[in-house]
Chains A and B, each alone.
Chain A
Amino acid sequence: MTGQAPARQGASGSSPGPSPWADAVLAAAALAVDPAGLGGVVLRSPPSPLRDNWLDLLRQGQPPDAPWRRVPLHVTDGRLFGGLDLAATLRAGKPLAERGLLAECDGGMLILASAERLSAATAARLTATVDRGMVAVERDGTTARHSARFGIVALDESLDDSEAVPPALADRLALHIDLNGLRRGESPETVFTPEEIAQARKRLRTVTAAESDVELLCGVALALGTGSLRAEALALRFARVHAALHGRTTLAKADCEAAARLVLAPRASRLPLPDDEPPAAEEHQAETPPEDGEGDDRGSDSPPEDLVLAAAQAAIPPRLLAQLQSAVGRPRGRSAAGRVGALQLARRRGRPVGTRRGDLAGGNRLNLVETLRTAAPWQPLRRRRQDGADAGPRMEVRRDDFRIVRFKQRSESVTIFVVDASGSAALHRLAEAKGAVELLLTDCYARRDQVALIAFRGAGAEVLLPPTRSLVRAKRELAALPGGGGTPLADGLDAALALAEAAKRQGRTPSLVLLTDGRANVSRDGSGGRAQAEEDAQRAARRIRGAGLAALFIDTGPRANPFARDLAAEMGARYLALPRADARSLSAAVQDAGQSAGAPEAVA
């Protein structure tokens, strides 16, 4: 692509951004220089030779005796923090402590495999350790503080955006690298030797940053909307490491640029002010920054912030760029809601509510700790029964001791709003319908229901909002809903049914709230014609009744429509005409519809 990049990038001012792989190599060197200061890296890549290659680079850069520990996904507290070594204790018959993984990692790297599936709880333990640079072991009789300063390599193997490294952890890791689709050798990369890295480590303490550098990085971060203030602090740290790697003791513009590219750009939540021309998207590789003089450090005409910003912008990963461009005006909480949704979904299989006696059949989950607890008091007795034979196991567990985890599954309700946004509805009452939905949303908030939003108009139906608990988002989608076009009522009902079935499969209890004037005029195949459209709608309505969904039909027409009333009957829905549907009766009706849908809780 660029081809003309000089071999030692940073040493000679700015240049069109180096290839992503060259940046990844740079990141490995930087992380090897200052693992604890930079926090670590989110390395997004499936297992691949390229990833192994990167990890090798990082490992070679470390001091020879520095620890390198892989942490499995479901690591226990005991192993992570240290504490009682259960196996050794049982064998020896006296408490034996073990040192935890976190303390063992001190001064080295902690590798998290499949970090995208890391539980928020484990992430919280890691972040607490990272924040304090030590682990505190507080167990009965022992109180210990171990230094634990290390870098984290979070291997993110997610394929799409439905999974991601827990945001609280990602926020503390300076580098976010995406190896997907990268190839080696697009531009020459600089591999630092272990000696160079060791020297940089020594030099790092002496690197000074000018006030203007801090301002520069903060300005860029602000323009990119990186949110958390940790971004700037980490960027500054990185710039310093970069300078140390290149033999400098004061920050140069190239250092800030590298920091903007590697630390700030991947966290962008907005594009810098689009004042003059639209930002260059795909062709950022080929593009040469405007009037960027060769290799002077601080003397170019345009303000340094613009140049650094341009460097950062060019480094925004294409995937993120596409997201940013499509999400105009979205707040920066964009992905967080989705992630938490996924997290709660995982828990939704029920939360453990204690244990009960039981056998290990049919996929029951043994609660080992409770089982041992149950067995423990009996040990002296059982040992005596063995006639003092030493051959027996130290711990005797009997079948009666087995304790099985009980789950309580709270079936959450999802209220699916299906809103007619067609021309006829828009003409009459779309605004009022929106008002009614807002009232109902308020009601759902109080009950902690989830809500989903489907709109239909023109050629089809669209799921505007998959089930969520964020009322703010629901309101935003609703407010932005345009009106106009035909009334594909059948499509709307089909979409609602599909969403309801999906919710059911996830163990939730769906109910439908349909707001329409019932004047269907677009049939399933997309053609006009009232007769066919109405027939299709009736067929869709019968399927809804067949699925046993609780439904509420709110007729938004200016006067009661016999067809709408019939359709409601076909659906098995309660029928309510909006003229009489004031706030109170509306919410009461929705509540009734929800309650008839089944018992909310079941204990397995």
Chain B
Amino acid sequence: MAEPYPFSAIVEQEEMKLALLIAVIDPSIGGVLVFGHRGTGKSTAVRALAALLPKMQVVAGCRYHCDPQADPRACADDCSLRRGRKPAELKSKAVPVPVVDLPLGATEDRVVGALDLERALTAGVKAFEPGLLALAHRGFLYIDEVNLLEDHLIDLLLDVAASGENVVEREGLSVRHAARFVLIGSGNPEEGELRPQLLDRFGLSVDVTTPEDLASRVEVVRRRDDFERHAAAFLAKWKRKDGQLRRKLTAARQRLDDIQVPDGALERVAELCMKLGTDGLRGELTMIRAARALAALEGAKSLNDDHLRRVAPAALRHRLRRDPLDEAGSGVRVERALQEVFGT
């Protein structure tokens, strides 16, 4: 069936691509928010990234994509792991990393899961039917137009994304299952804004714009056209680059824990956040984690000021006490503070 567009073939949008890579290397960063106009390749990038990742091993037949290596007790009650078998005896299979779309207007029961109506009606048993959160486990949950999603759903998603666990207590069911995913929200700010409380809970935030110069527009259209007409040839052409990136990502994930964080860096990050007046510690934490992931991606042993500088706008711009009437945007303010703390 149709292969997604290759990640390496996406023209420009460097900040978005980098933010997505960072979120993949360290999922604990807590998701990426992409704000921008339609047709800027947001959803293409997410799907491409998922396809780029190595296939993951899951327990065959497990509805929660359980990792065969994982502690069996972490899985929900009806996982096959519980049926008295040891991890070594389990059949596993490789599946692509899932990307689950959460459509607007999705109901809460569809998102968290609910009583399985089919089995209740036909067999008269009370069984749990996993929702979108279970489907997204170990993959991506993508929400287009996140700013138009009902607030209570976003609350719920962010809670699950932060805790990595979905707890369902409804209709006499009591189920908990692991739900670790990279949350990606996108939207167009002209159509409504996200509540500041929710903004803060996304790890990284990037703004994408439609390129306004002819050359890159032409390039985008040409590649897209190539891809649609000669998909096989196009994929083959980019396969090597995608493969390189895949190896880099895999290596970065393994290296992540060994990246040194110098004390001086922590101090400078704290200074930067104080200067910008970001509330809470989430900004500092995210910035350090993102810089560490970037260092891992680039094969560095420890993170340096350059890494910090490059992730600062994405990690902080949505955490500033915002003046909605200031059209210059918060990116400029972050840039200014960076100049002061890190010098030129």
Asked if B124 and A376 make an inter-chain contact with CB atoms under 8 angstroms apart, the answer reads yes
Q: Is the CB of B190 within 8 A of A121?
A: no
Name, among A124, A222, A233, A376, the residue most crowded by chain B CB atoms within 10 Å (CB to CB): A376
Residues of B within 8 Å of A8, CB to CB, are none
User: In the complex, which of the residues A211, A231, A475 contacts B39, with contact meaning CB atoms closer than 8 Å?
Assistant: A231
Shortest CB–CB separation between residue A241 and chain B, in angstroms?
Answer: 12
CB distance from A103 to the nearest CB of B (A): 12
Tell me, yes or no, whether A470 is within 8 Å of chain B by CB: yes
Over the window 29-60 of chain B, the binary record of Cβ atoms lying under 8 Å from chain A Cβ atoms (1 yes, 0 no) is: 00000000111110110010000000000000
Query: Which residues from chain B contact A167 at a C-beta distance below 8 Å?
Result: 38
- Residues of A with C-beta under 8 A to B193: 445, 469, 471
| B281 contacts A by Cβ under 8 Å | no
Name which residue of chain B comes closest to A120, CB basis.
B104
Residues of the A chain whose Cβ atoms lie less than 8 Å from the Cβ of B122: 89, 93-95
Among A341-355, those with CB < 8 Å from B are 343-344, 351-352
B242 within 8 A of A: no
A229 to B208, CA, bound (A): 13
- A288 interface residue per 8 A CB criterion: no
At the interface, yes or no: A604 with Cβ under 8 Å from chain B?
no
- Interface residues of chain A: helix, strand, loop or mixed (majority): helix
The reply to whether A372 and B117 form a contact with Cβ atoms under 8 Å apart is yes
**Would you call B2 and A475 a contact (CB within 8 A)?**
no
Taking a contact as CB atoms under 8 Å apart, the answer to whether B116 and A336 are in contact is: no
State whether the Cβ of A112 lies closer than 8 Å to any Cβ in chain B.
no
Once bound together, how far apart are the Cα atoms of A93 and B4, in whole Å?
39
Contact with B along A202-230 (1 / 0, CB 8 A): 00010001010011011101100001111
| Residue interface mask B115-155, A partner, CB < 8 A = 1 | 11111111010100110000100000000110010100000
A305 to B323, CA, bound (A): 42
User: B221 touches which one: A132, A233, A344, A352 (CB < 8 A)?
Assistant: A233
Cα A337 to Cα B188 with chains together (Å): 10
Measured between beta carbons, the chain B residues less than 8 angstroms from A127 are: 144
Decide: A336 and B190 in contact? CB cutoff 8 A. yes
- Are A222 and B212 in touch, CB under 8 angstroms? yes
Cα distance A37–B227 in the bound complex, in angstroms: 12
A147 to B1, CA, bound (A): 7
Give the contacts of A133-171 with B (CB-CB under 8 A): 133-134, 138, 140, 145, 147, 167-168, 171
Given contacts A218-B214, A472-B327, contact A228 B117 (CB under 8 A): no
Chain B residues whose CB sits within 8 angstroms of the CB of A229 once the complex forms: 39-41, 210-211, 217, 220-221, 224
Given known contacts A373-B117, A442-B324, A124 and B221 CB-to-CB distance under 8 angstroms: no
Q: How far is the CB of B123 from chain A (nearest CB, A)?
A: 9
B106 to chain A: closest CB distance in Å?
7
- Identify A441's interface contact among B1, B117, B118, B324, CB under 8 A: B324
Chain A residues lying within 8 Å of B126, measured Cβ to Cβ, are 377
Question: B192 → chain A, closest Cβ, in Å?
Answer: 6
> Contact: A442 with B196, CB < 8 Å?
no
B341: min CB distance to chain A, Å: 27
- In Å, the complex CA distance between A446 and B323 comes to 10
B325 at the interface (CB under 8 A from A): yes
Which residue of B191, B221, B324 is within 8 Å of A217 (Cβ)? B221
Q: Kindly provide the distance from the CB of A332 to the nearest chain B CB, expressed in whole angstroms.
A: 8
B218 proximal to A (CB < 8 A): yes
Instruction: Report chain A residues within 8 Å CB of B210.
Output: 227-229
Complex: how many Å from CA A227 to CA B210? 7
Query: Are the C-beta atoms of B37 and A95 separated by less than 8 Å?
Result: no
B118 touches A124 (CB 8 A): no
A92 nearest in chain B by CB position? B122
Q: Which of A84, A134, A221, A237 contacts B217 (CB 8 A)?
A: A221
Contact of B105 with A119 in the complex, beta carbons under 8 Å: yes
Flag if B212 contacts A95 (CB, 8 Å): no
Contact of A168 among B2, B129, B144 (CB under 8 A): B144
CA distance A441 to B326 in the complex (A): 12
A471 to B221, CA, bound (A): 34
Whether the Cβ atoms of B214 and A472 lie closer than 8 Å is: no
Q: Contact between A209 and B225 (Cβ–Cβ < 8 Å)? A: yes
Any A CB within 8 A of the CB of B103: yes
Q: Which of B120, B124, B225 contacts A214 (CB 8 A)?
A: B225
Supposing A120-B104, A215-B218, A228-B37 touch, asked if A340 and B192 sit within 8 A by C-beta, the answer is yes
Let me know if A236 and B221 touch, CB within 8 A: yes
Q: Indicate whether A502 reaches chain B with its CB closer than 8 angstroms.
A: no
For B228, what are the chain A residues with a Cβ–Cβ distance below 8 Å?
Answer: 37, 237
Partner of B2, one of A134, A215, A395: A134
Report if A214-B191 is in contact (Cβ < 8 Å); known contacts: A140-B118, A351-B150, A471-B324.
no
Shortest 10 CB-CB distances between A and B: which pairs? A121-B105, A228-B39, A376-B120, A333-B190, A124-B103, A230-B39, A445-B324, A228-B38, A471-B324, A218-B217
What are 22 sample pairs from A and B whose C-beta atoms fall under 8 A apart?
Answer: A94-B122, A119-B105, A122-B105, A132-B4, A133-B1, A133-B2, A140-B119, A147-B1, A171-B39, A211-B222, A227-B37, A229-B39, A233-B225, A340-B191, A344-B148, A351-B150, A372-B117, A376-B124, A446-B196, A469-B192, A472-B324, A472-B327
A229-B221, A472-B325 are known contacts; what are 13 more A-B pairs with Cβ within 8 Å?
A: A121-B103, A124-B101, A124-B105, A132-B2, A227-B210, A228-B40, A231-B39, A331-B190, A333-B188, A344-B192, A376-B120, A379-B124, A395-B121
